[in-house]
Each structure stands twice: as structure tokens, then as C-alpha cells.
Amino acid sequence: MQHDATSIPRAWRVCVTRDEGPAGALATTLREHAFEPAVCPVLVECEPERSEHLRRVAVRLNEFDWIICASARAVRALSAARGAPWPPGVRTAAVGRRTAEALVTAGASPPPVVAEGDGADLLWNVLRHQAEWQDVRVLLPTTSGGRRTLVDALRSAGAAVEEVEAYRMCARDRRAIAGDWAAAAPDAVVLASPRVAAALIEVVGGDALKHLQAVVAIGHTTADALTARGIPALVPAIADFREVARVLAACRAARLGS
């Protein structure tokens, strides 16, 4: 049952559509800001279409000057495909602390470069000062539909970027999504990509999102996809989970004060 504007609960339930558990990065950040996360994964991890290609790239990590990972999931997939510790001396960078921790666990040395927040934009602001990128060999493990911020920025800076699909995100069973959404009874939802938004709307309907207290889109591309369906969305200034929580907190305060 959704909440109307006259009975807004102070502990908003926020639907987390990422494939993460209650102790995941976004859920933890929301809890730190006095929200109650309700996990409803829309897409789940699958093997890449070209698993053998991933394995061939993984065994030659020593050929790269830098390996830059946007998620702990990508680190784990690359490590599993390699089947051995990472070669010493290859520089690494991570989008977010959890990804950095995954790199250290995988054997990355020296320690990875990491920004203070979770977004690719924040990491690039750090990396742009780390090296002269012209002709630097960079590996970026990716996933289909992922953000292109780092790929585009590095190539614009002259880096020789090689991409490899580390994993895919596949649509979850419709009944499972519907069941989790009903159990969540959310006041707000966080959506990280147009694909996630479209898959969720296909199951629960656009009206279910329109009646929420807030819909947060991580990135303007996701927001544009929602706007095209008549669903207004809040967009954090940067793609960072703490910024997502701050945007939600500001919205909650405005609602409670109205």
C-alpha cells in the first residue's frame, strides 16, 4: 500500500533496485541517512556472452599500465576468469571504496587509486591528474549498458583503452520482481539505468512510480527515460550513493514541511 501526501512516514522505505543484499553499498548508505532500504533487484548478474574472451584478457593483465574497475562485481569476474593473483606493478583504480577493497583482495599492488565518492565522474577528476594518458594502455572491464564516462574520458585524453565485458545483467523473473515490490511497499525508489527503469515499469506499471514520494534517477539518461514515460525524477548532481541519500533527505524534509 502506497502512502499519500497527508500521511508521510518519517522512516521512508526506499526501494533498492540494484542486485545487492541488505548490506550492499546503497542500502547501507540509505540506512545511515535514516531511510529503510527495501531490496528489489530488477536485473541479476550473468556470465558475459564471450566468456572465453574474458579469460584470454584476464591472463594477460601484466600487459596493461592501468586496470580501472567500476564495480566490485567487475573485479570479482576478472579475478575468477584469471584464476590467479593479479600481477604486481600494474596500477589500478576503483569507482568507490568497495571496489577498491575488492582490488586489494584480488592482489592489486600498488594500492588502487580511489575517489572520495562512488561516481565515475569523481574518479576521473582524480585520475586526470595521475598520469599523462597519451598512449597509456588501459583495461576497463565493463558490462553492457554501463556508463561510458571513464571510457570516453580516457580515450579523449589519448589513452589506448581496451574494453572487455566482465559480466552481463539479465532481467530477473517477473514474478520475483512483483513479489519483492509488493513486500517493499516503498515510499521512494532509486533507479540506476534506463534499462532498470524500463524493466521495473514493465512489471509494476508506471503509475506505481508516479504515486511514490520520490523517484531518484542516477544520471540524466535515466531521468530522461523516466520523463518520456511521464514520471518525474530527482537527479543527484553526481553519481554517488551519499548524494542519492542527500537528495532523498532533502525531498523528505520538504514533504514533511509542506
Got the DSSP string for the chain?
----TTS--SS-EEEE-SS--TTSHHHHHHHHTT-EEEE--SEEEE--TTHHHHHHHHTTGGG-SEEEES-HHHHHHHHHHH-SPPPTT-EEEESSHHHHHHHHHHT-SSPPEE-SSS-HHHHHHHHTTT---TT-EEEEEE-TT---HHHHHHHHTT-EEEEEE--EEEEPPHHHHHHHHHHH--SEEEE-SHHHHHHHHHHH-HHHHHTSSEEEESSHHHHHHHHTTT---B--SSS-HHHHHHHHHHHHHHHHH-
Per-residue pLDDT at 8 exceeds 50: no
Domain end point (choices 113, 134, 168): 168
Interior/surface letters 122-145, b for 16+ CB within 10 angstroms, e for the rest: bbbeebeeeeebeebebbbbbbee
Q: Yes or no: say if 76 and 174 are a contact pair by the CB < 8 Å rule.
A: no
**pLDDT tens sequence across 123-175:** 999 999 888 999 999 999 998 777 788 999 999 999 999 999 999 999 899 99
Taking only the tens place, the pLDDT of each residue in 73-110 is 999 999 999 999 899 999 999 998 889 999 999 999 99
Predicted local distance difference test score (pLDDT) of residue 198: 95
Q: Both 164 and 178 in a single domain?
A: no
Give the residue numbers spanning the domain of 176.
Answer: 13-43+171-257
Looking at 168, 195, 222, which one is the last position of a domain? 168
Task: Check residue 219 and give its pLDDT.
Answer: 85
Same domain, 19 and 37: yes
- 107 and 206 together in one domain: no
Taking the alpha carbons at both ends of the chain, their separation in whole angstroms is 22
Q: Tell me the CATH number at 17.
A: 3.40.50.10090
pTM assigned to the model:
0.71
Residue-wise pLDDT for 19-57, tens only, equals: 887 878 899 999 999 999 999 999 999 999 899 999 999
Residue 125 lies in a domain: yes
Mean pLDDT of 190-195: 93
- pLDDT for 1 equals 40
Q: Are residues 108 and 23 in the same domain?
A: no
What average pLDDT does this structure show over 184-191? 97
Total of domains in the chain: 2
* Rounded Cα distance, 166 and 47, in Å: 8
